[in-house]
Every structure is written in structure tokens, then in C-alpha cells.
Chain A
Amino acid sequence: MASGSKDVYLVIGGSGFLGRHIVNALLARGDSVSVFDIVQRYHDVPCYTGDITEQDSISEALNKSGTTCIIHTASPPHGLDDDVLYWKVNVEGTSAVIAAAIANKVQKLVFTSSAGIVFDGSNIIGADERLPAPRKAMDAYNESKAKAEEVVLAANGKSGLLTVALRPAGIYGPGDRQVMQGLYEVYNRGQTHFQIGDNTNLFDWSYVENVAYAHLLAADKLVHLGPERDPLEPLSLSAEEADMLDRYLPPIRLSTGNHRIPTSEARPPGPVLRQSPESSRVTQNFYDHSFQHQPRPIVRTKFDALSETALSRAKTSPLQVAGQVFFITNCEPVYFWDFTRYVWNELDKIVDPEGKEQRLEKRRIVFPQSLGYVFASLAEFWGWLRGKPHMFTRFRVAYSCGVRWHNIEKARRVLGYEPQVGVEEGIKRMISVCHKLHLPRL
């Protein structure tokens, strides 16, 4: 932001699930925000309705609202059978947004990409941003998202526009229409006791408000264009960058309890009889969050994305925001079926508090992934025969048996992103809203 003046935001797709949460987060901190969307669902902020592929309508919205920062979250939902639509909205639409932004001298563009663009059906284990997208995308949705991300990053630095792309993984939360819908259907059919695979596959989830928060951080930190790295010079880090890399990042403890480890230099008083000056100093240290006796050593392997070797290979420094991508997750991946079981159990508490249906008491039926593929093929064939797509597909089998979690160290260090709501609390919030919306009774 130039000389501390506040940005004026336009959230494209601001009537959607994530978009709406971003609008809320901006409103909560008193920012000026408008929405551009194909439909208007809320009336608390100025809304410009229009087609994202029409550069003129976007331009008009930018011009009227005086936008300085665009947050572009619009995309058709995943799972549609319409390749043309995906390409039109995600690729052509995003290009139109960029053209309009440049024409209106907008300074910042934060783009919502997707972690799915690196997924090719095989395991994603602690992937960082260096992992290239597969040659053949998983599906039309991810292919169009990958292309759109490319377009956004290529526009960085063009005519004063700065861009950044965020790749959230498995967004869920109040207002979600994808994750919850699927889980609710399985619950409704009483199929919660089926499990495909051995459930040792960790899976990333991102609570929507955390993702919204990451967008705000990215917008705030998108301030200047970093220089290209000179490959002939040895790697040298600024003090700020060195500091960024040396900070100890603890595991996320939102769900499992955050308690400072007592030490002889920082501990609570306990049942002490007499406080000496020495013991009150130590007590003070314990409650002083900035206190650190000695910095913790950071050990990196040479495979690490932020190791010195990796940093000296990079064409542009990954320690900046402009022109970069960031994975965004809750950093609390859980085994795939655990997330679903937790949701079903929470649903049970509301829908069937007496436990009459005994859904979760049913004997668990586990079949291996290979058998899952066979069943899914049959189901797909049956669906094809009936002319109605079946819910149980090979894609879903691959999806539920694969490992999919990402390394968000870059977002934590560079954006300063820390999840604000834990995975468990996030599910509770999602369910409580679903409940209020009166999901159909059985």
C-alpha cells in the first residue's frame, strides 16, 4: 500500500462461498469493499453484476468503485461436466480481469487458485510450491485453474500490476456446498460404515475463514516487485529474509491444545510458597510470549524448499509475495476417513441424538482400494446405462485413498499466515450452520 493509504477492494465472485467470507473479513476490519459477481446474493456492499468474460463490465465496476486491489475468487464449482464453461470462466474470464485491471491502473490482484492443480491422482505428500503441475491435468476444472494461474503470474509486473496466487486445499465451512453435500448424502443413505483403503492417508482441509484470512494477508503484503535473482552472484539474504527463515514454526496446536512448555527460565509460579526475585523473573518470562531463552535450531534437508541450495536455484526469490504461489491449508491434515467420520458423528448428535439409527455402531466394512475401483467401474457403467451419473466413481475412490497434504511453510514464513480456526472447530461451525439451514430430515 502506498504510504499507508488503505486499499479499495473488489471481490470477484463475492457472492460465492469463499468470496463471501472474504467480503466479511474485509468488512470486519473496516475496509471499503465491492463485489462483482454474476448474481447478487447479499445487499450490504455495492454489487456489480456481470459476466466475468466481458472486460467492459469488469472495467466499469473497477472504475465506479475506485478499486485498487482485486481479489478474484470466481470459478464454477468442481465436478461439472462442462469443459467449455471451465475454460471460458477460468481462463478467458481471468484474462479479462487482468486486461481490465491494467486498463484501470489497478495495483494488486490476488487470485484464488487451487491445490488441486498439482494433483494427478497419485499421492501428494508434503508438496511445496516447486512441484510442477502434471502434464495431464486431473480434469477440466484443474486444467483451467492451472492455466488461469499461469496467466495471473505472467501478468505480475505488467504496467504496475502486482499479482499473487493462493492455492487452498479442501475448503470447507459454513456455506459450503461441495464437501458437506457429499458427506450428507452418504450419511442419509446410511453408508457411513463403508471404508475404501486402509485409512492411513493424510488429507488436507482448509477452513474457509482461514483461507479468507490468507487472502487478506496476501493483499496486504503485495507491495513491491522483487528483483530477479542474479544467477552469477552467490545467494545473499537481507536481514529481514534471514529473520523470516530462522524463526521456529511450531506445529499448529489449535485443536490439540496450545500450552507453553515450562522450563527453568520460563515457568508459571505453581504452588510456590515464597516468590524470590529470581522466581518472579522466571514467571514473567513464562507469560511473556516474546520470551525465548535461546532460538531453536532450524535443521533443513537439501530437499527442503527453503534450503540455501533451493533458494540459490530459484529464478525469483520465493521469499517475496509478488509473482508467487502459496499453498494454503489448515496445516492439520487428518486421515481421510477420520474427517468424514467426525462430520457424521457431529451430524448424528443433531439428527439422531438418541442414537436410534445406530449408524456409527454399525460394523465397519473395509474394502481395499483395488476392489473399490472394480465396484466404482461397475457403478459408473450402471450409471451410464441408466443415463444418470452415479455418485460412486473411480475418481472418488482415488480421491479417498490418496495421500494429499501440502507444505505451507512458505505461506507461514512469507505471508505470516497462521491458521486461526482449527480443523475440529471448523467442522463444528460448519455443522451448526447446516443445522440452521434445516437439512432435510430422514
Chain B
Amino acid sequence: MSSSESLLKLLFTRPGDFRTLIQFKFFHEFKRDLSAIHEHPTSGWDRRSMRRCWEFLDMTSRSFSAVIKELDGDLARVICIFYLVLRGLDTIEDDMTIPDPVKQPVLRSFHKHTVTPGWTFDGSGPGEKDRQLLVEYDVVVEELNRLPPQYRDVIVEICEKMENGMADFAHKAATTGEIYLEKIEDWDLYCHYVAGLVGEGLSRLLSASGKEQPWLGDQLELSNSMGLFLQKTNIIRDYREDTEQRRYFWPKEIWTREEYSVNGHGAFKEMEEMYVPENEKQALWVLSGLVVDVLRHAPDCLDYLRLLKNQSVFNFCAIPQVMAIATLNLVFMNPQTFQRNIKIRKAEAAGLIMKSTNPRDIAYLFRDYARRIHVKCDPKDPSFLKVAISCGHIEMWCELNYPSFVSVPSQPGQGPVIDPNDRRSAVIALDEKRDKELLEIQRLAKATDGKVKDIVRSGVKTTTKETHWDLIAFMVFAMVAVLGLGLGISWLVINKLSPDS
């Protein structure tokens, strides 16, 4: 079916989706034209090798291509190259047709190959979908070598760290026959190598570009959380596809938990058991356990997004995260996850892209998905309360960072609007009162130059009303004293100094 036909069909089956897609197509289509002549200095479109790299980006990335191309200035090209280098490395790691003794040296020296002019690799299996990238890898090498050292060095360094981590895991699986990741710590580490390091690299490239804070590249934990959140979500979603290709990424510590056992089945022993229809419930409990583990990265992701300044960088970072939480919602409590590869609907994705413009909206999107996840949770699920707590963390993040009682001004130049019905507005009212009080104290201190200052400092009276009373009392006292003195003197003069006496 052509795309226009499927769109037409959507008009009748899901009119809401139709509307979103039309809006997306006409009002939100990506705009940057990398082939335009004025873009050539940053996009490199005038070079054959870079044109080929842009083509490879479209061929190899399902979701990243669009957001990468929208990045400002030369960041788009830098991150395109970074992506292709890692894609090349990943293609070798993933390839089950390459025997370990061949794979190990190629992986472990990939950081050298990737800067060696003319290097290509044609040892991938015939079924490998990104095989062609490695066959023509010399174009990537050429473009990587053209990058200024502050970018190139980061890419090569991350590549070296990743290749060794991948090689360690591949070697273990090939030589010991232990095909599963054992502990949560192991799956965290594996995801760190294949995705967390991508996050680290991106943060450093963003800092190097000057478009983001120079310290962003040093925020390793936050950067890794961004990667882990995406990677773990993909690993959960791709269960069926990976399992059929005998690639196993779910940590044994979670899926072999005895507490997930239903009707005395006992803990799972093999990953394949989970797609047997009779085991559906137990498999869903495992899935919940994994979702809880993924959700623990969500607050960090929101923290990271909040630190970004550049709009194109924000979109690039935020869109995949929102897709991930939408995907988590899709797979959660969904038996189809074990039967086929499921994906969020095109219109849902388009709608999310349109909404992903600022950290506040992203946070509340996260919250909405958290609630959608939560509402599906079954009290019999051993992870029941853990899911609620995880969702609670997202809700808390929203309210503590972007409190809902303050709404963004509808027109620029206006101040934020406070909801008077929210209890927190009482704090704002007290603050305003106190601010006035402080201003008054300062004004008085200046006007009386010290007198009131001492009274204020003594800490007994800080309200202006009482201070005035003090002044008045002082003045009355002074007046009485002066008057008394005058009267006394007069009396003396009259009585003692009169000529009669």
C-alpha cells in the first residue's frame, strides 16, 4: 500500500491519527535541507564521501536520522559521523556468523581501523542489514579524519571504550557458553558499553561544539542514564526478534525470580519459555519487573533534558526519550510483546515529536505515560507497588521542578500565573508580604541611618508598624522631657529669682 493510500485508510479507521499526521506533514515537517548550497560548509554535501554518509545515515537508522539532520550547524555532520562509526562497530558485534577468534581482533582494533584511510570490511554475514556500510566504510573514515580534533578525539576514544566492552561480553558468550546476562549489574554494564557510552560521547561533543555548557561532557552519570533508558527499552521491546536470533539481553536476575512464578510453574529457566501461551501471566510479571528497572532512569533523563540550552539539541535528545516512555507503555502488560515486534503507531510518534519542545512539556508527557502504565498494573503483579513508586518518582519530579500551580504565561513578557486555588499559592502570598516587609525595613534603615537599624537588628520587632510606635514613644518621651525641663526652669526662674523673695 502506498503511503497516501494508507493515510486515506486512516481517515476512516482512526480519524484522530489522520489529523495528527496531516498536521505533522504540513506544519512540522523537518525543514533543514542539507543539500542547499548555503548549507554546504556545515553539511559537507559538496563532497561525495559525505553525501554517501548522509545516505548511510538514512539507510541505517530508523529513528535517529531525522533528528540528527535537524541539529544546528556542523553538529549534524559531527553526530552523523559519530553515529555511523558506532553503527559500523555494532554491526560487527551483532554478527553471529563471524567466529569469535576473527571477531575479537577486529572489534578490539576498530578505533584504529576507523581512522585508517581506505579501511573497509567485507566479512559480515550476507543477512546483515548494515553490511554495505562496512563494505564502503572508507567514506566514514575519510569524513571522520576531516573533523576538527576536539570532535574526532572524542569519537575515537568512545569507540575504543565501547569496542573493548563489546569484545569482553562477546568473548564470554562465545567461550563459556553462558549466553545470558546474569545480574542487573551486568545488564547495566552491557547497556553502558553499547548505549551509555554513546550518551557520554554525545555530551562531550555537545560541550565541544559550544552549543551546550562546557561541563555537560563531565556529567557521566546523567549521560549514561539517557543511554540506558533508551537501550533497556529497546531490549525489552525486541524480545521476540532477539530471542529468535538467540541473542539474549534480559538479565537473569530478573526473569528467573521465583516470586513471578504462577500456579506453581516455578521460575523460568530459558528465555524462550516466555512466549509459550500458557506462561503468559508469568511472562508479564517478568516484563513488569524489567519496566520497574527501566523507570529508575527516568528522573535522571528529565534532569539531563532540563540542563540543555539549544533548541535543536533539546529536540535531538528529548524525542528519543519520549518515544522510549511511550514504548514502555506499549509493551507493559501487553502479551503481544512476547509474540511479535510491536511499535508505537506513526501518529502517536508524530504527535509526540510535535509536543517535544521544552523540558516542562516533556516532564508532563512522562507523567501522563507513567499514569497510563500505572492504570494497567494488576494488584496480583509482584511488581505492583514498585510500579506505583516508580511512577510516583516521575510525578514528584514534575511538581518539584515545574510546579503545576504556576502556569507558563500565554504571552511573552507576562509573568507566570499562579493558581489561587492551589494551597501552594499561600506560600507565594506570604513571600510577597515578607518581601514588602523587607523593603520597608531597608527603607527605614536608610532613612534613619542606624536608629531603626539597631531596633531591627535586635530582632525583637521587625514589622514597620511596631517600629513606628517605638519612634512615637521616643518622641513623646523626648517632648515630655523637654517640656518638663522648660517648665522646671520657668518655675525656678519665677519662684527663686523673683525680686519678692
Using CB atoms and an 8 Å cutoff, list the residues of chain A in contact with chain B: 118, 120, 122-128, 130-132, 199-200, 202, 228, 230-232, 251, 253, 255-257, 259, 261-268, 270-273, 293-294, 296-297, 299, 301, 303-304, 310, 313, 315, 332-335, 338-339, 341-342, 344-345, 360, 405, 407, 422-424, 427
Q: Is B430 interfacial (CB-CB < 8 Å)?
A: yes
Most buried by A among B172, B220, B300: B220
Number of contacting residues on B, CB 8 A? 82
The answer to whether B392 and A313 have CB atoms under 8 Å apart is no
The answer to whether A263 and B200 have CB atoms under 8 Å apart is yes
Can you show 27 pairs from A to B with CB atoms below 8 A apart? A126-B396, A200-B371, A202-B392, A232-B442, A232-B445, A251-B296, A255-B385, A256-B293, A256-B390, A259-B296, A261-B221, A262-B188, A262-B196, A263-B224, A264-B220, A268-B189, A273-B171, A294-B220, A303-B427, A313-B434, A334-B388, A334-B392, A338-B374, A338-B388, A345-B384, A360-B380, A424-B385
Closest to A270 in B: B189
A266 to chain B, nearest CB (A): 8
Closest to A272 in B: B168
Q: Is B37 interfacial (CB-CB < 8 Å)?
A: no
User: A125: which B residues are within 8 A, CB to CB?
Assistant: 399, 403-405, 422-424
User: B168: which A residues are within 8 A, CB to CB?
Assistant: 270-273
Q: Is B438 interfacial (CB-CB < 8 Å)?
A: yes
Closest to A338 in B: B388
User: A273: which B residues are within 8 A, CB to CB?
Assistant: 168, 171
A180 to chain B, nearest CB (A): 16
Q: Mark B180-212, 1 if CB is under 8 A from A, else 0.
A: 000011101110100011001000000000000
The answer to whether B385 and A338 have CB atoms under 8 Å apart is yes
From residue 220 to 251 of chain B, which have CB atoms closer than 8 A to chain A? 220-225, 228
The answer to whether A251 and B384 have CB atoms under 8 Å apart is no
For the complex, what is the distance from the CA of A261 to the CA of B196, rounded to whole Å? 9
A298 to chain B, nearest CB (A): 10
For the complex, what is the distance from the CA of A232 to the CA of B456, rounded to whole Å? 9
For the complex, what is the distance from the CA of A408 to the CA of B440, rounded to whole Å? 32
For the complex, what is the distance from the CA of A433 to the CA of B396, rounded to whole Å? 31
Indicate which residue in B161, B169, B400 contacts A126 across the interface (CB closer than 8 Å): B400
B276 to chain A, nearest CB (A): 23
For the complex, what is the distance from the CA of A424 to the CA of B259, rounded to whole Å? 15
For the complex, what is the distance from the CA of A313 to the CA of B428, rounded to whole Å? 12
User: B399: which A residues are within 8 A, CB to CB?
Assistant: 125-126
The answer to whether B396 and A263 have CB atoms under 8 Å apart is no
The answer to whether A131 and B427 have CB atoms under 8 Å apart is yes
For the complex, what is the distance from the CA of A422 to the CA of B390, rounded to whole Å? 13
B344 to chain A, nearest CB (A): 22
The answer to whether B172 and A271 have CB atoms under 8 Å apart is yes
For the complex, what is the distance from the CA of A272 to the CA of B193, rounded to whole Å? 12
A237 to chain B, nearest CB (A): 18
A271 to chain B, nearest CB (A): 4
The answer to whether A303 and B406 have CB atoms under 8 Å apart is yes
For the complex, what is the distance from the CA of A268 to the CA of B186, rounded to whole Å? 8
